Amino acid sequence: MMEVRFHGRGGQGAVTSAEMVAVAAIGKGKYAQAMPSFGAERRGAPVQAFVRVDDHPITIRQEILEPDAVVVLDPTLLATIPVTSGLKAGGQLIINTHRSIEEMKENLKTTACISVVDASAIARETLGRPITNTTMLGALLKVTGMLEPEDLIEALKERFGKIAGKNIEAMKRAFNETKIGSRP
């Protein structure tokens, strides 16, 4: 089973990201569940979302405490939220940042494999706004291999309608531009 935790801010689409992965996985004949974790937060407040994907039925119904991968939509959260908390040893930390893997390794003390992509720049250039949720999906897919970018296309079309094309373009571009680090 692949378990992923998303960290973002209210309005950035972390919850939508988890849902899109689950919908796409189910469309490929897999089992999946997505869930948000937030209270009465307002736009801009930290939020978490979770997704599980497996080839077998999933009977767990709780937050993901030990994810295989953590996706950080907003790099400012790195200074305020312990995003690597519970991350499995050797797990994947996927960060939206313009910084290099080496810079991130210097700043973060973790055994995670750090991967980076400048999702904010891609989103601004492709979508016209720095909303990074679909962009970071491309990075997640490249790093984990849990699905292929083509697997998400129908889910994105269903969710985003007329603007799905730009979201698909942003996802594919991030898939191609993500830099995957080696394990420490």
The residues, any chain, with a CB within 8 Å of residue 126's CB and separated by 6 or more, are: 135, 166, 169, 170, 173
Token output for 1: 């089973």
pLDDT(158) > 60: yes
Please tell me the pTM assigned to this model.
Answer: 0.94
User: Domains, the chain, ranges and CATH?
Assistant: 2-180 (3.40.920.10)
Phi, psi of 21 (to 5 degrees): -65, -45
Q: Name the residue among 105, 34, 32, 120 with its Cα closest to residue 73.
A: 120
**pLDDT digit string (tens) for 69-126?**
999 999 999 999 999 999 998 899 999 999 999 999 888 888 889 999 999 999 999 9
DSSP assigned state of 60: -
| Mean of per-residue pLDDT scores for the chain | 93
> Which residue carries 């893997």 as its tokens?
101
Angle, vertex CA 89, rays to CA 87 and CA 93, nearest 5: 50
Q: How far apart are CA 45 and CA 166, in angstroms?
A: 26
| pLDDT band for position 184 (cuts 50, 70, 90) | low
pLDDT(42) > 70: no
> Which residue carries 């849902």 as its tokens?
19
What integer is the mean pLDDT of 165-181? 96
pLDDT(177) > 80: yes
* Model pLDDT, residue 62: 86
| Strand partners for 113 | 92
What integer is the mean pLDDT of 140-156? 96
* Model pLDDT, residue 56: 97
